[in-house]
Structure 1
Amino acid sequence: MSLHLSRRHEMVTQSEIRSMSLECSLQGGLNLAQGVCDTPVPEAVLRGATEAIEAGMNTYTPHTGIPELRQAIADKQERLYGMACDPESEIVVTAGATGALYSAFQALLEPGDEVILFEPFYGYHLTTLRSAGAVPVFVPLEAPGWSVGEGELEAAITPKTRGIIVNTPANPCGKVFSRGELEAVADVAIRHDLFVFTDEIYEHFLYDGLVHVPMATLPGMRERTVTISGASKTFSVTGWRIGWAIADRRWAPAIGHFSDLCYVCAPAPLQAGVARGMEELGWEYYRGLGLEYRLKRDRFCRALQDAGLAPFVPDGAYYVLADVSSVPGRSARERAMHILRTAGVASVPATAFYGGGKGESLVRFCYAKEDAVLDEACRRLREYALHATD
């Protein structure tokens, strides 16, 4: 017997997002590939973390998170969505939303279980599923409205189906599921007795009057929904790794135990900072995010249009898929590299968000940048377009 890697290692190779971020660094470009969200952190969040550090909050916390943060999460869900949840038995604070998703899959899925994944999908959803031994089953969202074809979700259900992943607002396409669309998913989940895992990390990045509807608030869905969110995007603290899962008290303890096994706890003083932000920043702050990022979206999409890279204008989140079929190259990666080398702006080949040969004519950009950086990216793309027509 020789030493060798496990078969699982092929499931978690470096993502295209990180790969393009590395290429961007090597090229000295502007990184609009990774959703790093480099806008300023709210003062209340920084103050809460700083005070916690100065007060010596440096040891392990309960594996489910500090009581103040769990209570703040419960209060927010009740205040914004009318969603009651017990902070003691139904909320688990984790090392980022990715940690919550991983722990939930480990707790609730068996190897061989099938889980429905809408595509284009977020790559970490796919690899996290596979690392749990689950089998993804793709249901396409049809552009430009990213709608689910009639009957396609039902047709994807088999006796092995165990769950459905719903990402709303969605990365990478910006899809915001309407109440009616969520009710259709809920109907399938209830009839087939399925879990629904929701990634709601972009819940406050909504445009043009759209509203976020948590799946767990729909009739019959509270007990079967695992709601996953976090502070990374809302407070621009992607490196802090503060996320959470909200689940029925039958499921939350097992999710917490897997989180404890992998991460022990989320960073103690940073939990305090997020709790402070959630306590002090109310609806006006969350509403302001949508207004601020709508302006960024519109400014960046105009630049893409001017550059001949037609955007699929998103309804939420802070990413945009753009049509790069006119860019030199035989694949999405070659086209993304051409844009990086000639315009100095990094994107992600959309093949990272599809299963099997799709997405070759698309790339994804992230516009969660400070205005000066975004303006420079817009300038470079417009200049790229001028050179492309010379």
Structure 2
Amino acid sequence: MVQAEVAKGRGLGLSELAPRVAQSEIRAMSVESDRVGGVNLAQGVCDTEVPQVVTEGAIAAIRDGHNIYTRLDGIQRLRRAIAGKVESTLGLVADPEREILVASGATGAFHAVAMALFNPGDEVLLFEPFYGYHVGTLRSLRVTPVAVELEGAEWKLDLDRVRAAITPKTRAVVVNTPSNPAGKVFTREELEGLAEIAREHDLFVLTDEIYEHFLYGDAKHISPATLHGMRERTIVMSGFSKTFSVTGWRIGYVIADAKWLPAIAYFHDLLYVCAPAPFQHGVAAGIEQLGPTFYARLALDHEAKREMLVSALRDAGLSPHVPDGAYYILASTKGLESVLSGETAAQRARSLLAKTGVAAVAGSAFFRAGKGEDLLRFCFAKKDEDLAEACKRLRSLR
């Protein structure tokens, strides 16, 4: 009877966290775009062509019967391919048997890493504008994200701000380079400064490098794991969703010191069991057969797409921040108050969709409350004909 009364008093309901959670603004705008038949520049779906060797590798794997669970750390072929790739492109040496985990995308990798390394109440620094899924994942685990603002139009890192944000509860720093949504590529000087702070305060550095091959102009990608004294404390997360245009396949990876990887792998197994088996084979084929020429062409193709969209945004009256990497553009709507209705970025994004049929994401999705309300984020990883149509529609705004 007493137990029944306790249960009755508790009642049905959501968790303490759930009422504070809303659908991702990125996903919400994708739904709105589909509803009105718009051109979706909101979500980074990356619907460019998949390399033929990648699709054929996955199809062959299905036909050859590779349709069951893999080892929890992924197939050996892919782990070895990843090890070879990161050594040749980053100069990073990793043991495919002890230091590499094939994950369900970089997002799944981040979730498993956070579960393995952090406790409720820990604090983790990340840089603003930030990727919302990093923040949401930390909060879902009762870990406190602490935003450190990047400065100016070039999103410069102020190391004094980083030091000021550190408390006794700080356990790690998250670095997304090249970054979503700003397209910032952290410089060697900035990363060496962060490395010094991480060593001084005994912090992990979690580095999301999913856009490593999308670099423009003189920008260079540097993995913090390759810096002096950083290999043990750096957790590298990346994947092939963007590089091979297979965002729906969910093939990512983690590289971590052998002392950390078993716990990360345990939680990834608990959450996802394994990444899809035939897709692992398809990605392995891509890594094995596509080399530096492919990655260089990928960057050049997207640099041309960047220029297309930057030009159209300027013609439409928006003021774009030109990214050095990744495939997103943050653009200011200041001066368009008479054209785009609404007090918030979310309202202006919907106004833009209604007027032009082009979907963007509210910049506020990448900032703390009250910030980013004058910004919209646009994705240019689209087929040229779709991007050209979006540019035409944007220019109609003026």
**Fold shared, TM-score > 0.5 on shorter chain:** yes
Report what 1:291 is aligned to.
300
Runs of 5+ in structure 2 lacking a partner?
Answer: 1-9
Q: Count how many residue pairs are aligned between Structure 1 and Structure 2.
A: 385
SS at structure 1 position matched to 2:150: strand
In structure 2, what is the Cα distance between the partners aligned to 1:150 and 1:91? 31
Tell me, what secondary structure is at the counterpart of 1:13? coil
Aligned equivalents of 1:150, 1:184: Cα separation in 2: 7
User: Does the 8 Å CA contact 1:168/1:198 hold for their aligned counterparts?
Assistant: yes
| 2:16 corresponding residue in structure 1 | 7
Indicate the residue corresponding to 2:129 in structure 1: 120
Query: What's the counterpart of residue 71 of structure 2?
Result: 62
Q: Among 156, 181, 184, which residue is 1:175 paired with?
A: 184
Partner of 1:258: 267
Q: Secondary structure at the match of 2:397?
A: helix
Q: CA deviation at 1:14?
A: 1.2
Out of 139-148 and 215-224, give the one that drifted further. 139-148
Aligned pairs for 1:131-210 (under 5 A) are: 131-210=140-219
Q: Deviations over 1:164-211 (max 9, x none)?
A: 000000000000001111001111101000001000000000000211
Task: Quote how far apart the aligned CAs of 1:149 are.
Answer: 2.6
1:363 equivalent among 376, 379, 383: 376
Specify the SS of the correspondent of 1:147. coil
- In structure 1, give the amino acid aligned to 2:372: G
Question: Aligned partners of 1:6 and 1:339: how far apart in 2?
Answer: 35
* Residue 335 of structure 1: aligned partner: 348
Give the letter for the 1:375 counterpart: A
SS at match of 1:151: helix
Higher mean displacement: 325-334 or 150-159: 325-334
- Per-residue displacement from partner, 1:32-75 (whole Å, max 9, x unpaired)? 00000000000110111011011011110001000000000000
* AA partner of residue 238 (structure 2): S
- Tell me which residue corresponds to 1:99: 108
Correspondence list, 1:10-21, <5 A:
10=19, 12-21=21-30
Helix, strand or coil at the partner of 1:124: helix
Does the 8 A contact of 2:181 with 2:366 survive in 1? yes
> TM-score with structure 2 length normalisation?
0.96
Give SS of 1:142's match: coil
Spell out the pairing of 1:266-345 with structure 2 (5 A cutoff): 266-325=275-334, 326=336, 327-345=340-358
**1:384 match: secondary structure:** coil
- Deviation of the 1:9 alpha carbon: 2.1
Q: Percent identity?
A: 57
Q: Deviations over 1:122-152 (max 9, x none)?
A: 0000000111211011100112010123510
Task: Indicate how the Cα distance of structure 1 residues 12 and 242 shifts in structure 2: closer, same or farther if over 3 A, else same.
Answer: farther
Q: Is the 8 A contact 1:32 1:365 kept in 2?
A: yes
Distance 2:22 2:297 in 1: 37
Shift of 1:328: 2.7
Structure 1 match to 2:4:
none
Shift of 1:13: 3.0
1:343 alignment partner AA = T
What residue in structure 2 maps to residue 84 of structure 1? Answer: 93
1:5-26 deviations in whole A, cap 9, x for unaligned?
Answer: 1113245531000011111111
Contact kept? 1:174, 1:319, Cα under 8 Å: yes
Q: Which runs of 5+ in 1 are unaligned?
A: 386-390
- SS at 2:102 equivalent: strand
CA distance in 2, matches of 1:12, 1:182: 32
1:346 aligns with 2:359: yes
Q: Alpha-carbon deviation of 1:329?
A: 1.7
* Whole-angstrom distance in 2 between the partners of 1:34 and 1:358: 20
Is 1:372 the equivalent of 2:372?
no
Cα gap change, 1:51 to 1:11, in 2 (>3 Å): farther
Q: Is the 8 A contact 2:206 2:235 kept in 1?
A: yes
Is the 2:352–2:358 Cα contact (8 Å) retained in structure 1? yes
- CA contact under 8 A between 2:159 and 2:194: conserved in structure 1? no
CA RMSD of aligned residues (A): 0.9
Displacement, 1:283?
Answer: 0.8
Distance, in Å, in 2 between the alignment partners of 1:117 and 1:299 is: 31
CA pair 127-21 structure 1, distance change in 2 beyond 3 A: same
Deviation per CA, 1:220-269: give whole Å up to 9, x if none: 11000000000100000000000111000010110000000011000000
Check the 8 A contact 1:11/1:130 in 2, yes or no.
Answer: no
Report the Cα distance in structure 1 between the residues aligned to 2:270 and 2:20, rounded to whole angstroms.
21
